[in-house]
Amino acid sequence: MHKFLIRSFVSSLVLLFTLTVAAIAKDVKAAFVYIGPTGDHGWTYQHDVGRKAVEAAGFKTTYVEGVPESADAERVLRQLANSGHDIIFTTSFGYMNPTNKVAKEFPNVKFEHATGYKREHPNVSTYAARFYEGRTILGTIAGTMTKSNVIGYVASFPIPEVIRGINSFTLAAQKVNPNIKTKIVWAFTWYDPGKEAEAAKALIDQGADVIAQHTDSTAIVQMAEKAGVYAFGQASDMDKFAPKAVLTSVENNWGPYYVDRVKAVANGTWNQKDTWHGIGDGMVVISGLDSQMPSDLQAKVKKLQADLASGKVHSFTGPIYDQKGNLMVAEGKTADDGMLAGMMTYVKGVEGDIPK
């Protein structure tokens, strides 16, 4: 009888303990700071899809949208850290310094900064996606589908992220079609439907029959639809905005990473790291392929996708030459992450100069 009592007492204690731990674990609150509105169908929209995945995993979330990268960012971050949030995702480059500053004041709150490089305190991690892998796929499709051999590319800002995308796109297109030229128009914006549409129009007028973009709005694919040329969706699946023009989209899939990191906080296993995930880890996703693409191209793309995921194929495999013909990556070698992170030269086949 005694034993039974003790046993049941102990087991109920254990049960109580597990319940409490579970309850505490579920109490983790995550916050997200967005640069744009959640309805932009691009960058912020995809981060918000990721946030919803965290909600679906049973955690509470908060978000603040349209936070300018001015002095306001710091206040929003401090308020979130102060109001019971355990992990805060700051989803734009310009939040880098405020994130590190506020992180110093709140050592118990975890901070995750997207696309930055500063981790000044042990509670700051950084994360980004290898979008260039997606652009290898887009380049392969563009090089095959073009008839004019002129491919247009609407770029945002001359930073390594964007240059890397242009290069990986061009290299892949050259591989299937050595005659192609990539024409770039710099829009100097991440999100400005008017400017983006103008840039796309300028490229179409110059004979481009496939348009790629590194800006976030749907204006470019819509312009392509009107002009009867092909285009690719950016950040989210933009097929519904231009069903004839969009051949596929490169989607930013933050959900799995966000759920993973919030769970890590709940389990007490969160640690500082710098994450750079690609197709293999599911952070970069290729949307469904359009039926206008010939079936052999579709098969080729599927295989390339699998090879990029497994690491069998690398987007930057030598020999790679720059515009002047200097060797950037030797034959049989691949570009390392350091080179990719600081990439500020065009590869051969890209037209024009990087704005300085």
Q: Is the CB of 80 or the CB of 238 nearer to other proteins? A: 80
Kindly tell me which of 308 and 335 has the beta carbon lying closer to other proteins.
Answer: 335
Query: Cα separation of 88 and 90, whole Å?
Result: 6
When asked if residue 355 is in the footprint of other proteins (CB under 8 A), the reply is yes
Q: Alpha-carbon dihedral of residues 98, 100, 105, 106, nearest 10 degrees?
A: 110
Q: How far apart are CA 255 and CA 211, in angstroms?
A: 28
94 contributes a contact to other proteins by CB under 8 A: yes
With CB under 8 A as the contact rule, the residue among 28, 30, 54, 76 that binds other proteins is 76
Stretch that binds other proteins, among 79-87, 239-247, 264-272, 317-325 (CB under 8 A): 79-87
Q: Does 193 engage in binding with other proteins (CB under 8 A)? A: no
Decide if residue 356 touches other proteins (CB under 8 A). Answer: yes
72 touches other proteins by CB under 8 A: yes
Q: Is 322 in the site for other proteins (CB under 8 A)?
A: no
CB of 179 to other proteins, least distance (A): 31
With both helix axes pointing from N to C terminus, report the angle between 43-56 and 255-267 in degrees, rounded to the nearest 10.
40
How many Å separate Cα 307 from the centre of its chain?
19
In our burial notation (b when 16+ CB lie closer than 10 A, e otherwise), range 130-164 reads bbbbbbbbbbbbbbbbbeebbbbbbbbbbeebbbb
Q: At its nearest, how many Å lie between other proteins and the CB of residue 131? A: 16
Residue selected from 7, 26, 37, 148 as contacting other proteins according to rule CB under 8 A: 37
Answer for the pair 232, 138: CB distance below 8 angstroms, yes or no.
yes
100 half-sphere exposure, CB direction, 13 A CA radius? 12
Q: Rule CB under 8 A: say whether 341 interacts with other proteins.
A: yes
Q: Which residue has the tokens 């690609």?
A: 278
Distance of CA 125 to the CA centre of its chain: 16
**Sole binder of other proteins in the list 26, 117, 148, 312 (CB under 8 A):** 117
Q: How far is the CB of 68 from other proteins (least distance, A)?
A: 4
Closest alpha carbon to 35 in 88, 81, 90: 90
> Can you spell out the DSSP letters for 309-333?
HHTSS-SSBS-EEBTTS-EEE-TT-
37 or 178: whose CB is closer to other proteins?
A: 37
| Residue among 68 and 178 whose Cβ is closer to other proteins | 68
Give how many residues touch other proteins by CB under 8 A.
34
Residue 274 pairs in a beta bridge with 126
Segment interacting with other proteins, rule: CB under 8 A, options 146-154, 245-253, 265-273, 336-344 = 336-344
By CB under 8 A, name the binding residues for other proteins: 31, 37, 62-72, 74-76, 78-80, 83, 93-94, 97, 117, 157-160, 188, 341-342, 344, 355-356
